[in-house]
């Protein structure tokens, strides 16, 4: 089962003006365990970052789905709430879920999440939308797990053929372990208590 992990990486970055600066940046990726997340981030960033980099923190992150659009790299974290009937007690329970959507503004993030969740069969509210510090997202490889998009393989193949004709260029990233309902209304974080931090890190 795959889950989303936020991995914080420290390295020396060359700025637009040519200056070098030591930075810590968070990346989101799908992996099975903390160990897999660490191994995968070294594999992914080893092709992108020049020079050495260190993993200074890994946190399990509860993200229900990710809606990616090709026109922007800025991510917004959107929290939604709705009521769902409990199958056992037949009582309504309040559910909170977190989503990531790429957009140019809070307004556009709101419009895109409303459009993306238009097929949801319950009424929901959006209590918060905030800019996410995530630099880049590495979903689970589609050729290894077609369930990433929670659609039948036949539909995935059709969507891939029609992708070039899409004016919005959107995509949905899901890990098989991300289909989790967060029922704790008091929690405003998308991270649980399981966290690995570099105690020697001094920012």
SS3 call for 90:
coil
Q: Which fold has domain 1-61?
A: Ubiquitin-like (UB roll) (3.10.20)
3-state SS track over 121-159: CCCEEEEEEEECCCCEEECCCCCCCHHHHCCCHHHHHHH
The sheet carrying 65-69 orders its strands as 124-131, 75-85, 92-102, 65-69, 170-173
Mean pLDDT, the chain, rounded, equals 77
pLDDT at 14: 85
Name the residue with tokens 């238009």.
118
Which structure tokens are listed for 154?
């036949």
pLDDT tens per residue, range 70-126 = 999 999 999 999 988 776 777 888 899 999 999 999 999 999 999 999 988 888 999
Which structure tokens are listed for 29?
């990726």
In the predicted structure, residue 130 carries a pLDDT above the cut 80: yes
Name the residue with tokens 């990531």.
100
pLDDT at 178: 44
In the predicted structure, residue 196 carries a pLDDT above the cut 70: no
Distance between CA atoms of residues 136 and 25, nearest Å: 9
In the predicted structure, residue 12 carries a pLDDT above the cut 50: yes
Domain boundaries, the chain: 1-61, 62-132+140-185
């Amino acid at each position: 089962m795959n889950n989303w992990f936020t991995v914080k990486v420290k390295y020396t970055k060359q700025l637009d003006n040519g200056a070098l600066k030591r930075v810590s940046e968070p990346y989101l990726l799908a992996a099975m365990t903390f160990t897999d997340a660490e191994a995968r981030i070294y594999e992914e960033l080893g092709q992108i970052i020049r020079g050495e980099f260190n993993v200074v923190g890994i946190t399990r992150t509860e993200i229900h789905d990710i809606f990616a659009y090709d026109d922007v790299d800025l991510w917004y974290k959107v929290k939604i709430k709705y009521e769902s009937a409990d199958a056992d007690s037949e009582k309504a329970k309040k559910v909170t879920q977190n989503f990531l959507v790429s957009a140019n503004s809070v307004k556009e993030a709101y419009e895109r999440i409303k459009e993306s969740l238009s097929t949801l069969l319950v009424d929901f509210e959006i209590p918060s939308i905030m800019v996410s510090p995530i630099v880049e997202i590495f979903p689970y490889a589609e050729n290894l797990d077609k369930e990433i998009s929670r659609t039948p393989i036949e539909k995935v193949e059709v969507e891939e053929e029609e992708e070039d004709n899409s004016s919005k260029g959107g995509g949905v990233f899901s890990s098989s372990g991300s289909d989790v309902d967060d029922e704790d209304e008091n929690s405003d974080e998308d991270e649980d208590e399981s966290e690995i931090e570099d105690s020697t890190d001094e920012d």
